[in-house]
Structure 1
């Protein structure tokens, strides 16, 4: 065991080399790699199960719904996510099922166009040109810039430098700057509202319209899927369980139902955490996978730990959009649909339609239609999986952005602040109304299905805040922390305190937060971890990993060893 210098624990206090607050993929990746390096690591999770936005939940003992795992890009032989798994020796514990990467892994539907998005930049450009024959020049310009900038961004992750590209193509690479928004790039390429909608239709992957995202982040998202779109066999909990197995096999520990009340800081150094029950645990390293605003303002005490200008910027930060998600199960199959997500837009002008919904709410207090809807079909992506649904049934999700703020839901605050929203009559009425609007819109796209519904429930931004503790109930993190999409790095102003998750500069999405987790662990260990594992390095000893028996259950594993046999666990069947 490597000796780590740090504060002396008080009498009776537990002491670890590192504590990770929260068990989203960013925190689990950091924790597992530190454990593989020989550190004594403790992961603390307030929820019943690890995983954050990657976790699943079960209903009626026959349906399992993913909270945030809808597809993952770049999971081929040289992919980023497989490399992260491989570096811990758990690559063969996760199988990635390819979606229809040739015909199209995303189907975009507007009133006048249907675009099936394939893998590969050339094929993508050709599909766009066919859908927009009058705008071929603008399409070519957009795809060239996106391909160049995103390729350089990915190369930088695996250890290559972008200096030469900046020298060779300065006019193109200026779009890699964080100050340049997607909206500016669409303007630069002279694209019409319809073309802008087809190009930016998958905005639900990051939760904002083109003026709220950098061009580089949108391009990176596209490139991620241009390298192929996949779904983890068995759902998102399979990813979580693999990292938990690595963590525990290499000497780390996961405790669920264990809420951190405070990150302890003494003289500018992180010294551990205090739990909700008053217990103090000591460590010279703390990695917060909690929401960034809550980390700075609540867990660390704001100005008590951070410079005043950073605290002010964090207080003023705005969040990306919140989602309403309807989880749907049917007692029938849905034949004729592709193995793809469907991105439906009720208007050829996505930006104007979203603005009109928000304006209607702010002006009249009403929302009478859904401008856009994302369909994710788990039973198509993972056919035959017993956990998804029984044979002959369907399991899918409907997702859409909603107007921002608690007021839309008829409440004054969120669950983190103690607002008892769940039985509030105004909240329930808004939730029922919005769910009905989503189902009505969905039936226009895939045909009638409400008579075959066996399970239907909706989750709002308040639901997300309750389980994930994210500010504003968004899974996408901060919209503005200063300039457009400016975000903090993993290292903070407090010595020994790091941050990971959907709010940091690596962006939102499962691969992005996992990459951020690698960056934090790499800075702590003084190693270029991602380039190392991409080149084949393996940390830890895979021979220590546990066997998986016939009753192995990823949700059970994700509760941690101490609570693996606790009551309240829903099995399928």
Structure 2
């Protein structure tokens, strides 16, 4: 018999925002919850890191949509008693995304009508197709949002009646809708310019994903005051205030199953923790194939998981300058080398050349200018991102960091990393002008970096691009007591998607439809239990969990916080 060290009502494996939201709602619902995170900071892709005691860089929170009155993210946080503890700063309503092509610049404004108007101005002669496209996408987004917030239990027939446009187009690809609308390559590129938001090409992504992601931002684009770590730290406070626990630097090696029922987890040090419910916020493929084991799943599910295609991985440059960036709006910049996004993805599949096809810029120091940890006064902090081909081969690596391979001193890896960094800098200066002489910090993160910290298959931050038939994603698990949340599951990738999935998972476990409740104003968490925040409050320290809060090694920014 295995020695059981502790027992809990629910154990959450992984502390991305999906896992933290689920854990927070379970804790607020009276369950004894434990969150286990192999990294030393909770937050997953929402965490931040600090350099030179002067700069703080966001890993994955570049901007959020729908954070105004009636927004889904504020409702999820408000339902936990966090309405006054997480604030959002709105980006430029007249153009929160600036798309730059060789012969067109489009500032994406709030609202479908204004967005359509800008597109028609940039694409004279394609108005009919643009109107069809906007009508389809807006209708699907509205149908999906309505389903998300309804408290009704719908039959399959009722569901079809409520979502006619989704039934018609939802699982078809964006490429098919583009073809239906008769778009030129330039139109296709402008409309899919922000595809780095979901890490899929037009031939991969479903119309539903593109429509809901686009609608999310057209409801208003925002940035959390204080950076992405504010989200994770605030959720950790809720979990701990309601009797739950976060343990960081705690690696789960196995989710234990007996007679098709979850019984708990086993840690790297041999500790066994018991629980009748385990929520995996780990990478979906690793959950099925490694943590639980394929022997516990139907053969068809294992086959789909083995054959699943992850989203494209990404390379990110973290840049700091000793001067301010002038002449730029409070907006993201999406720069494309040419008017052929389909060709760009096709070429990218063969390797990232010295002519980078597209870049995404996120300017943290413009989005959050008053937060002292972002950068010193008069300096700039921004990130430059692009996609790259999947696989280890081009990096000179065989198995990857999850398998224990040491890669950071590998000569081939360092050579390729330096080459891509230079290529991205060249393209970046083409996009925004010279800045290299002002660089005070430059750091490159590759797909192997992503895998090292989050253990994501293929080093992608986007989860699954395909799993079985088009447009489908894993949802119900055949093992009793086992649930999954995160990028690779039903609600897809992105902050709102994984937070929504966390609420949905907690709803299933607690047996109540939580999202419609909290969107209507219900508060399940008790805000009076939350700790006071003084001038030294640090979201990174909070995100270590109680047991490691005072551990050494936490970087601080020159006395801030």
1:330 aligns with one of 321, 325, 339? 321
User: Who is 2:347 aligned against?
Assistant: 356
SS at 2:193 equivalent: helix
Flag the 1:176–1:252 CA change in 2: closer, same or farther, 3 A: farther
Cα deviation 1:50-85 (Å, max 9, x = unaligned): 000000000000100000000000001100000000
Matched-pair contact (CA < 8 Å) for 2:166–2:208: no
Length, aligned pairs only: 555
Matched-pair contact (CA < 8 Å) for 1:478–1:485: no
Deviates more, 1:276-285 or 1:345-354: 345-354
Matched-pair contact (CA < 8 Å) for 1:88–1:539: yes
1:53 aligns with one of 39, 45, 48? 45
C-alpha distance in structure 1 between counterparts of 2:341 and 2:151, whole Å: 36
Flag the 1:149–1:390 CA change in 2: closer, same or farther, 3 A: same
* TM-score, with structure 1 as normaliser: 0.95
Flag the 1:11–1:375 CA change in 2: closer, same or farther, 3 A: closer
Cα deviation 1:449-470 (Å, max 9, x = unaligned): 0000000010000000000000
Matched-pair contact (CA < 8 Å) for 1:478–1:503: yes
User: Who is 1:213 aligned against?
Assistant: 205
- Give 5+ residue unaligned stretches, structure 2: none
Matched-pair contact (CA < 8 Å) for 2:4–2:274: no
How far the C-alpha of 1:503 sits from its partner, in A, is 0.2
SS at 2:444 equivalent: strand
1:543 aligns with one of 513, 528, 551? 528
Pair 1:569 & 2:554 matched:
yes
C-alpha distance in structure 2 between counterparts of 1:447 and 1:121, whole Å: 31
C-alpha distance in structure 2 between counterparts of 1:167 and 1:387, whole Å: 50
C-alpha distance in structure 1 between counterparts of 2:158 and 2:285, whole Å: 37
How far the C-alpha of 1:175 sits from its partner, in A, is 3.9
SS at 1:315 equivalent: helix
1:500 aligns with one of 485, 498, 504? 485
User: Who is 1:75 aligned against?
Assistant: 67
* TM-score, with structure 2 as normaliser: 0.97
What is the 5 A alignment of 1:130-169?
130-159=121-150, 167=161
C-alpha distance in structure 2 between counterparts of 1:256 and 1:537, whole Å: 31
C-alpha distance in structure 1 between counterparts of 2:116 and 2:21, whole Å: 35
Pair 1:174 & 2:167 matched:
yes
Let me know the Cα RMSD of the aligned residues. Answer: 1.5
2:461 aligns with one of 457, 462, 475? 475
C-alpha distance in structure 2 between counterparts of 1:165 and 1:290, whole Å: 30
C-alpha distance in structure 2 between counterparts of 1:45 and 1:474, whole Å: 19
C-alpha distance in structure 1 between counterparts of 2:239 and 2:424, whole Å: 40
Matched-pair contact (CA < 8 Å) for 1:152–1:165: no
Matched-pair contact (CA < 8 Å) for 2:360–2:386: yes
SS at 2:556 equivalent: coil
Matched-pair contact (CA < 8 Å) for 2:477–2:483: yes
1:317 aligns with one of 308, 311, 333? 308
1:273 aligns with one of 252, 265, 269? 265
1:390 aligns with one of 372, 376, 381? 376
C-alpha distance in structure 1 between counterparts of 2:22 and 2:161, whole Å: 34
Cα deviation 1:516-557 (Å, max 9, x = unaligned): 000100000111110010011111321111100110000000
C-alpha distance in structure 2 between counterparts of 1:423 and 1:560, whole Å: 31
C-alpha distance in structure 1 between counterparts of 2:162 and 2:401, whole Å: 51
User: Who is 1:196 aligned against?
Assistant: 188
Pair 1:417 & 2:403 matched:
yes
User: Who is 1:122 aligned against?
Assistant: 113
C-alpha distance in structure 2 between counterparts of 1:167 and 1:191, whole Å: 30
C-alpha distance in structure 2 between counterparts of 1:312 and 1:403, whole Å: 23
Pair 1:515 & 2:507 matched:
no
SS at 1:211 equivalent: coil
How far the C-alpha of 1:486 sits from its partner, in A, is 1.6
Flag the 1:440–1:175 CA change in 2: closer, same or farther, 3 A: farther
SS at 1:428 equivalent: helix
C-alpha distance in structure 1 between counterparts of 2:496 and 2:348, whole Å: 31
C-alpha distance in structure 1 between counterparts of 2:170 and 2:495, whole Å: 23
C-alpha distance in structure 2 between counterparts of 1:327 and 1:538, whole Å: 38
How far the C-alpha of 1:166 sits from its partner, in A, is 5.3
User: Who is 1:5 aligned against?
Assistant: none
Matched-pair contact (CA < 8 Å) for 2:151–2:513: no
Matched-pair contact (CA < 8 Å) for 2:333–2:362: yes
Pair 1:261 & 2:253 matched:
yes
C-alpha distance in structure 2 between counterparts of 1:329 and 1:494, whole Å: 47
SS at 1:134 equivalent: coil
User: Who is 1:185 aligned against?
Assistant: 177
How far the C-alpha of 1:505 sits from its partner, in A, is 1.3
Flag the 1:121–1:70 CA change in 2: closer, same or farther, 3 A: same
How far the C-alpha of 1:244 sits from its partner, in A, is 0.5
C-alpha distance in structure 1 between counterparts of 2:471 and 2:121, whole Å: 32
Cα deviation 1:395-447 (Å, max 9, x = unaligned): 00000001221111111121001221111000000000000111110001111
C-alpha distance in structure 1 between counterparts of 2:406 and 2:293, whole Å: 25
What is the 5 A alignment of 1:32-111?
32-101=24-93, 103-111=94-102
Pair 1:235 & 2:227 matched:
yes
Pair 1:297 & 2:282 matched:
no
